[in-house]
């Protein structure tokens, strides 16, 4: 099974947040998080992060797809 676009977005968003503490552009920031950075800063951080980590991100997404496929095959 291929991940759909929403699943891919959410997986990448989670990895970006874990590594940077920033919410991915396109994600809503809860008021309780005490936003201390602008949308432009968030976008710049994401662009730099995805460019530096593109190969790892793509490998991670492929890994998710293979695990899901194996689970479906075993069912």
Closest by CA position to 3, among listed 74, 72, 50: 72
Q: What is the mean pLDDT of residues 15-37?
A: 80
What's residue 64's pLDDT? Answer: 93
Range of the domain at 23: 5-74
CA triplet 69, 70, 73: central angle to 5 degrees?
85
Name, in order, each residue with C-beta under 8 angstroms of 66's C-beta and a sequence gap of 6 or more: none
The tally of domains found in the chain comes to 1
The whole model's pTM is what?
0.83
**Mean pLDDT score of the chain, rounded to an integer?**
88
* pLDDT over 60 (residue 66): yes
Q: Tens digit of pLDDT for each residue in 35-63?
A: 667 889 999 999 999 999 999 999 999 99
Name, in order, each residue with C-beta under 8 angstroms of 34's C-beta and a sequence gap of 6 or more: none
What's residue 31's pLDDT? Answer: 54
């Amino acid at each position: 099974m291929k991940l759909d676009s929403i699943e891919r977005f959410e997986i990448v968003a989670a990895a970006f947040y874990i590594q940077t503490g920033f919410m991915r552009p396109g994600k809503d920031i809860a008021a309780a998080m005490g936003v201390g950075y602008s949308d432009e800063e968030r976008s710049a951080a994401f662009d730099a992060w995805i460019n530096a980590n593109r190969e790892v991100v793509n490998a991670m997404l492929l890994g998710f797809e293979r695990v899901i496929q194996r689970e479906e095959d075993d069912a």
